[in-house]
Amino acid sequence: MSNNVNTAVEEVQEIHMHRDDFGSKMGMWLFLFTEVLLFGGLFILYAAYRYIYPEAFVVASGELDVFMGGINTVILLTSSLTVVLGIVALQKGNKKLCLSFLWITVFCGIVFLVNKYFEWGAKFHHGIYPKGPALQDMSEGEVMYFGLYYVMTGLHGLHIIVGLAFIGFVMWQIKRNILTADNFQRLENAGLYWHLVDIIWIFLFPLFYLIH
């Protein structure tokens, strides 16, 4: 009888202890593929309109600040590095260092968004917004360029915000010792999401800023 109870208790504990890191990782990757196809659709749209209006895209891209875009690229690459370093730190059992690295990532993400705010603000100031005075004087191709610019960088910015929330949540769990040196798949998943957002920017930067 007591034997039975013991095995039952063990079973319950086993259920509670059971973790499937591999399944968790696969789930994250499947989700990332839907993200790739979401942005992929927009990249295909970009390719089609750039093919139709090659000159207009060159003219319109002159409005963007290459320096600002470059700085944001460096910021995102650095934020990706600190996520990976955070994972390494947690794997080595250094919780404090891990959280410090993740704070740098959060800081970089916020600076990226602030830069974007100023970039978009400058464009609004120049009358480039839907029905804006400058946009109404532009050719069809330039209007398409700015439409794609706002949608793609906007959706990307939204992903930065979601990524920051995800990393913030994971940081809280690390702080509470819910995630530890031998249980960090959720941090890894947050990292995967953040790196995907980084990769999307790696393509957005040359496609929108570096056309001459």
Candidates 53, 73, 163, 164; binder of another protein (CB under 8 A) is 73
Instruction: Decide: is 62 part of the binding site for another protein (CB under 8 A).
Output: no
Cα separation, 57 vs 144, in Å, equals 8
90 to 129: interface string for another protein, x by CB under 8 A:
-xx-------------------------------------
Site string for another protein, 36-55 (x = CB under 8 A): xx--x--xx--xx--xx---
From residue 127 to residue 156, the character string flagging contacts with another protein as x (rule: CB under 8 A) and all else as - is ------------------------------
| Total number of residues that touch another protein (CB under 8 A) | 52
199 binds another protein per the rule CB under 8 A:
yes
Q: Which residues contact 113 (CB under 8 A, 6 or more apart)?
A: 157, 160, 161
Gyration radius of the chain over CA positions: 22
- CB 179 within 8 Å of CB 15: no
Closest CA to 211 of 62, 97, 48: 62
Token pair, residue 40, equals: 């992929």
Q: Is 184 an interacting residue with respect to another protein (CB under 8 A)? A: yes
Compare residues 5 and 37 and give the one whose CB is closer to another protein.
37
DSSP 3-state of 180: strand
